[in-house]
Every structure is written in structure tokens, then in C-alpha cells.
């Protein structure tokens, strides 16, 4: 494996094209990451630092390090090896370079808990630090009733240019414990408004006395080879309720509103992400028909 060995804050045009082709090959083999043939790379690759690995002039590996880190100060990394170049030491060299570059306490994702990634992490002395579960359900046969709201609470759709700050305020209070979600900013919301998947009609706000007290942000993923039968799939992207407004079934009502909306879009499958140790949320989603489908793991020291 060769290359200039330099971590870069930006990829030039050719590097971006080469990395995209590598990520597309990884997607076709593993089902992720969700990367498109054109346009910007997924948001998780914005900013930070990039390392590109080459063999005989071909890009065979890529690592991204989020130097800003999560809400607890852990820098977070992802690394990928072209399917045609696996089991040749490329992943180990990328991980070594990452270990030398990243701050103490960094975390690295293993999406789908891939066996090769697990072995690589363990050989490097890393431990499982976090499990993020992907839950899944099918729309056919689902019995999702009309949401019931307590007196004085109403639901409406998100209005771009008006509601960003209100959503961020609720989100910060609802997810002050979460490594990533709690750090959401109004700029992040506005950036997502520019992404192809953004749909304000599927972004539900709960209001009481004119104040936003909760929200359910849904998302639709385009068909990805190797995942979910190659179909478009809906996602319960974020459900947030202000702690001062919890109780009375507001979280369940918001969840039902989003599920019914996703079903109305002709989608046959719906997913969501939930922390593996969040027992109350797991209980709620299990009652709504969700079951574990995949597990993403963060490894660290």
C-alpha cells in the first residue's frame, strides 16, 4: 500500500472522484455507506480529515476522521477498504495511521458489525464501546392508529426558515445525553434542508401554547443495492420530546404520526436507529412492531 500518507482537510477533485468510486464499491458489497454516484458525499464525511490509500495508483482504502468529535469529546472515524483489496493488510495499515493521528479516546465505526472489521479492531487492542441498533418493520399488516394528543397539543408540519431554532432547542434538552444528536445546530438543520431526502411534510412538530415541545423528523432512503431488498425505505429519523413535556403519550403520538406518513408514501419497510442500552425506547418500538435488523458498533480503547 502506498500513497502520500498525508491527512488532508479537503479532497481535490480527482481524489473526491476516486473516493466516491471506492465508497460505491463498498456500498455494493456491504450495503453501506449510502453514497450517490454524483453530488456531495454523505454528511458524515463533511469536514474533518481524510486519508487516501493507493496501490499501483489505484485508490484501495479511505479513512475519515471527525476531528470535532462527539458530544463527549471522542473523535470519531470511519475507514473503508475496496472489496477487491481486502485481506491484504490495507485495513490494518489504515487503522494504524488512524491510531497515530487521532486523539486519545477516539472511536471507530464498524457498520453492520462486519466480522472482518471486528477482528481488525480486536487485533489492534480496541474494545466495543457502543452499540447502535438498526430496528426494522414492514408496513404490510401494521396497525398504527391515529395519534391521540392530550388537550392543548396540536401537530403541524415543519416550516423551513421558521422552525430551525425551536427544533434545536427541544433537541438539545431531549438529547443532552446523546453522543451526536445533542450537538445538533440550526446550521445542521438548514444543511439537511438542502439534501435530496429532506421533506418538510414528513417533519412533524408538536405545539402547546404556541411553543414547540416535540418533533418527529422522518426520512426516506433511496434504494441501495444489497439492503432492504433493493427498495426505498422510510426511517424514524429523530423523535424528540422536551423533558418538561414528557408524559401523556406525546412521544408515542409523534412516532405514530410519522409512521402513518411514511406508510402513506407507498413505502413497504421502515427502520430506525436506537442505542443498544436504551431499554425504554426499545420496549416502545418493539410494541410498535420493530425488531433488531443490524448492529453498528463503535470500537475504542
What would the CATH number be for the domain defined by 13-125?
3.40.630.30
Q: Which residues are annotated as a binding site?
A: 79-81, 180, 219, 235, 239-241, 246-252, 273
Can you give the pLDDT at residue 182? 83
CA 249, distance to chain mean position in Å, is 26
Q: Which residues are annotated as a binding site for acetyl-CoA?
A: 79-81, 239-241, 246-252
List where CATH 3.40.630.30 sits in the chain. 13-125, 135-295
Can you give the pLDDT at residue 256? 97
Prediction pTM value: 0.87
CATH topology of domain 135-295: Aminopeptidase (3.40.630)
Can you give the pLDDT at residue 5? 65
pLDDT in tens, the chain (301 residues): 554 568 999 999 999 999 999 999 999 999 889 888 888 888 889 899 999 999 999 999 999 999 998 988 899 999 999 999 999 999 999 999 999 999 999 999 999 998 889 999 999 999 999 999 999 999 999 999 999 999 999 999 999 999 999 999 999 999 998 888 888 999 999 999 998 899 999 999 999 999 999 999 999 999 887 788 889 999 999 999 999 988 789 999 999 999 999 999 999 999 999 999 999 889 989 999 999 999 999 999 8
Can you give the pLDDT at residue 71? 85
Amino acid at each position: 500500500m502506498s500513497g502520500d500518507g498525508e491527512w488532508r482537510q479537503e479532497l481535490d477533485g480527482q481524489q473526491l472522484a476516486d473516493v466516491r468510486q471506492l465508497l460505491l464499491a463498498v456500498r455494493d458489497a456491504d450495503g453501506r455507506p449510502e453514497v450517490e454516484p454524483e453530488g456531495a458525499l454523505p454528511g458524515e464525511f463533511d469536514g474533518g480529515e481524510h486519508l487516501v490509500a493507493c496501490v499501483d495508483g489505484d485508490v484501495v482504502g479511505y479513512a475519515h476522521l471527525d476531528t470535532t468529535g462527539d458530544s463527549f469529546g471522542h473523535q470519531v472515524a470511519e475507514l473503508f477498504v475496496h472489496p477487491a483489496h481486502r485481506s491484504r493488510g490495507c485495513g490494518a495499515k489504515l487503522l494504524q495511521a488512524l491510531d497515530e493521528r487521532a486523539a486519545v479516546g477516539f472511536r471507530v465505526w464498524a457498520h453492520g458489525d462486519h466480522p472482518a472489521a471486528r477482528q481488525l479492531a480486536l487485533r489492534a487492542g480496541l474494545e466495543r464501546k457502543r452499540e447502535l441498533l438498526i430496528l426494522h418493520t414492514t408496513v404490510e399488516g401494521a396497525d398504527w392508529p391515529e395519534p391521540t394528543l392530550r388537550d392543548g397539543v396540536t401537530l403541524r408540519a415543519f416550516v423551513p426558515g421558521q422552525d430551525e431554532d425551536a427544533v434545536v432547542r427541544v433537541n438539545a434538552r431531549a438529547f443532552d445525553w446523546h453522543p451526536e444528536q445533542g450537538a445538533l445546530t440550526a446550521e445542521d438543520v438548514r444543511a439537511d434542508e438542502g439534501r435530496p431526502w429532506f421533506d418538510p411534510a414528513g417533519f412533524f412538530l408538536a405545539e402547546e401554547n404556541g411553543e414547540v415541545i416535540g418533533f418527529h423528523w422522518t426520512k426516506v432512503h433511496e434504494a441501495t443495492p444489497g439492503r432492504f431488498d433493493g427498495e426505498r425505505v422510510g426511517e424514524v429519523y429523530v423523535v424528540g420530546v422536551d423533558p418538561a413535556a414528557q408524559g401523556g403519550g406525546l412521544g408515542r403520538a409523534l412516532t405514530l404520526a410519522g409512521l402513518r406518513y411514511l406508510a402513506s408514501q407507498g413505502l413497504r419497510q421502515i427502520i430506525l436507529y436506537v442505542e443498544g442500552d436504551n431499554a425504554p425506547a426499545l420496549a416502545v418500538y418493539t410494541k410498535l412492531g420493530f425488531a433488531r435488523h443490524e448492529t453498528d458498533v463503535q470500537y475504542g480503547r
